[in-house]
Amino acid sequence: MKKIVSLILMSVATLALQAAKIPQNSVVYLDVSQEWCCKATYAVCTSSGGDAARLMKPVAGKSGVYSYTVTLSDGLQENFRFGYSDQTYNRDQGSWDGFYTKEPSGSWSAAKPYYIVTGSDGSGYWAAEPASSGVTSLDSVIVATPTSCIDSTYDVVVTVYFTGAPCSLTLSGDQWATAPYKTTKMKKPLVIKQEGIKEPVGNAHSIIVTLYSSTNYTGEIASLQQAYVSPEIECEMEIEMGDQCANEPLTLTANTEGDVYIWSTGDNTPSIQFTPSLGAQDVTVEVFKSVLHPEQNLMANGDFESNPPSGFTSDYAYAGWNPASYYSSHSGADNLYAITKNANYFWRDFAVVMPHGGEYFALFDAGKSGYAWKATTTDNPDLVIQKDSIYLFSYWAAYPNTDVNNNPARLQFEIKYRDAAGTMQTQQLGAVYTLGQEEKLNGWYQQTVSWKAPCDASYVEIGVKDLNTAHDGNDFCLDDIMFQKASITNLVLSRKEIYHINGIDCGTPPPDPECTDNWLRTKWNDVLFVDNSAGEFVGYQWFLNGEEIPGAIEQYYRAPQSLTQSSDLYSVKMLKADGTTILSCEKTFAQISPSREEYPAPQQKQVIFRRYHVIGSHFRIVVTGYDDGSVEANKELY
């Protein structure tokens, strides 16, 4: 993160707006419904030095939108700057002595008078309309109560769905000790949790969620109440699969999330393929959660307590052991890490983040690809893996920035190992973890993933990468990194699932019907037809390359182009009066027998039937059957 040292006399952020000589009485709008919302004061600074701030007024009916009407003197200025303050001002202010400026893309025009702020640094874009409808509403509240068999507790997870830009929220209910929830930008939807509740099943509770238009819990927008009861904690789940075809593969997927899965089949993945036999049978899976024990850690210095740092390497430059106010003398530095006791001690603009455990942790200022932290067998002799063993990898991460989503780090586990052939193999482990989320702003949060070793390996590399390469923002903290082999001492049963399956004989599927080509004929270079001189067929369906031809249900089929050189395969299913069908063989046009071209003299045969099939506005096919069994088809104008 590039740090800019500046003097700020008031809590104000500003943003340069190139607006040379905006006409008098023009209206400039600022939309803070996505970022910069819920500040006490918004202003336009009407000179390049920021020494004249004009207050902006809220726009009626458009929550999060403010406006300023340009005066004659304002129109002579060469630029504007938007700003905000956490203080309330009732009149225009004088000098704004310090600010961080970021140029917006584009510029003001009467066609696009709305500046939509999308970044915490004031970045955004110009638009013809505000970003949202301007109406803030509370849409719904959903309460979930997931359970844990590890300690027989449950969590209450409240998800609040809303539109617009509310500035504060309260929760009230008997299980909510800390009711107010204040924010300058509410994530949509907002998720709030109470964890580790232990009580009898069936106790009734309710929660009331209220949104406000101000940061001091005034200006109520809406309120909703949701009831819930304490759930039953099921540590054994029975799943009825019913009748399933014997000897046919069946996919079974565990309903419980965990770190380790042990199936009665010997598998250890969340989903398995199981082939039932005849009769009743059960398949079980035990789902375990990991409990990490520091004394079993294969990392020599995962807690960063060793000075100088040892047991790991980093692709970032080392900035020192517990340096104070680092950026005061290293302005613009990035791609570095330091071992520190307090993020705020390292740099005053960071939040106060203390170690997760012990006295020190690692703080990273990222901005490049590569490993933030990496341990190898060379530095950690116990770091080896054994085939089919389950390993648990864990770290604690914190976000030191005070702004939500300031180019947050995106952390990814990765392991490399040398296989029996001497080739280094690489695997990414688990999902990418993004820091800087509002409900997890500056606290420590653990990330854990389990992994089954595919082979023995005496040389291993394991690390944490930041997938975000942005230079601004992108700061994070790591502490108490662990890598250990799972055993009965660090696995706790979360839930056992029993699948009841009854294997039945589904029989041998009937063979595909044999085909015949006794009735299929061609005419000219684009017509196929069925010889139904015996009158035994009453319905037809033509096929092209095994697929039904829509609407092709007549005795003949006329293709839209010549078929003499086509490699497409044609066939027809013929329906008899008794309901049975006959399928012709798939053949190309050239492989099908043509209609007879020579017939006995007309006086030697009698016409039995003649049918007409219209194929265009002026063409039709005439199919004629004779008493000797022959059939002919001709195309004619009519």
What is the domain-level CATH number for residue 400?
A: 2.60.120.260
Among 229, 253, 276, give the residue marking a domain's end. Answer: 229
Does 314 share its domain with 430? yes
Domain's final residue, options 483, 507, 535:
483
Flag whether 242 is in a domain.
Answer: no
- In-domain check, residue 60: yes
Residue 424 one-letter amino acid = M
Parallel, antiparallel or unpaired: strands 410-418 and 190-197: unpaired
The count of structural domains within the chain is 4
CA distances to 67, 98, 594 from 120, in Å = 20, 17, 77
Check which CATH number belongs to the domain holding 162 and give it.
Answer: 2.60.40.10
Structural domain contains residue 258: no
Cis bond before residue 231 (omega within 30° of 0): no
Q: Are residues 50 and 159 in the same domain?
A: no
What pLDDT does 94 receive? 45
Statement to judge: residues 342 and 472 lie in one domain:
yes
For 263-283, how does the pLDDT look when each residue is reduced to its tens digit (9 = 90+)?
Answer: 999 887 889 999 999 999 999
Enter the tokens of residue 448: 């854990």
Confirm whether 430 is domain-assigned.
yes
The one-letter amino acid at 521: R
Question: Do 305 and 449 have their domain in common?
Answer: yes
Average pLDDT of 34-61? 72
Question: Cβ of 333: how many Cβ atoms within 10 Å?
Answer: 15
Res 76 pLDDT > 50? no
Task: Please tell me whether residues 327 and 221 are part of one structural domain.
Answer: no
- Residue 115 β-bridge partners: 30, 126
Strands (E), 551-603: 556-558, 570-576, 581-584
Q: Are residues 444 and 475 in the same domain?
A: yes
Write down the mean pLDDT value for the chain: 80
Of 467, 370, 369, 460, give the one whose Cα is nearest residue 415. Answer: 460
CA separation for the pair 22, 161 (Å, rounded): 40
The number of residues in the chain equals: 638
Picking from 127, 152, 185, the residue at the C-terminal end of a domain is 127
Tell whether 5 is covered by a domain: no
Domain that holds residue 146: 137-229
217 and 119 share one domain: no
Classify residue 235: in a domain, yes or no.
no
Contact 361, 339 (CB under 8 A): yes
More confident of the two residues 368 and 359: 359
- Residue 187 and residue 117 in one domain: no
The 10s digit of each residue's pLDDT in 412-428 is 999 999 999 999 999 99
pLDDT of residue 6: 32
Is 42 inside a domain boundary? yes
From CA 266, how far away is CA 248, in angstroms rounded?
19
Per-residue confidence (pLDDT) for residue 185, from 0 to 100: 52
DSSP one-letter string for 211-235: EESSTTS-SEEEEEEEEEEPPP--S
Q: Would you give the DSSP letter of residue 127?
A: E
* Closest-CA residue to 59 (of 27, 105, 35): 27
* Whether 306 and 208 share a structural domain: no
> pLDDT per residue over 375-385, tens digit each?
999 989 889 99
**223 and 187, same structural domain?**
yes
Which residue in 297, 480, 479 sits closest to 382, CA to CA?
297
- Is residue 506 one of the residues assigned to a domain? no
More confident residue, 40 or 10: 40
Same domain, 336 and 467: yes
Q: With 60 as the cut, is the pLDDT of residue 348 above it?
A: yes
Residue-wise pLDDT tens digits, 173-190: 887 765 555 554 555 677
Quick: pLDDT tens for 528-539: 888 888 888 889
Q: Collapse the DSSP code of 28 into the 3-class scheme (helix H, G, I; strand E, B; otherwise coil) and give the result.
A: strand
Quickly state the pLDDT bin for 244 (edges 50, 70, 90): very high
Quick one: 108 and 214 in the same domain? no
Reported as a single tens digit per residue, the pLDDT across 506-547 is 876 555 556 776 788 888 888 888 888 888 888 999 999 989
- DSSP secondary structure, 254-305, as one string: -SS--SEEEETTS--SSEEEE---SEEEEEEEEEEEE---GGG---SSTT--
**Which of 134-148, 378-392, 454-468 is least confident?**
134-148
pLDDT (0 to 100) of residue 488: 57
- What are the tokens at 260? 């380790």
What CA–CA distance (Å, rounded) separates 12 from 84? Answer: 5
The label of the residue with tokens 């001709």 reads 634
Calculate mean pLDDT across residues 74-96.
Answer: 60
Residue type, 378: T
pTM of the entire structure? 0.45
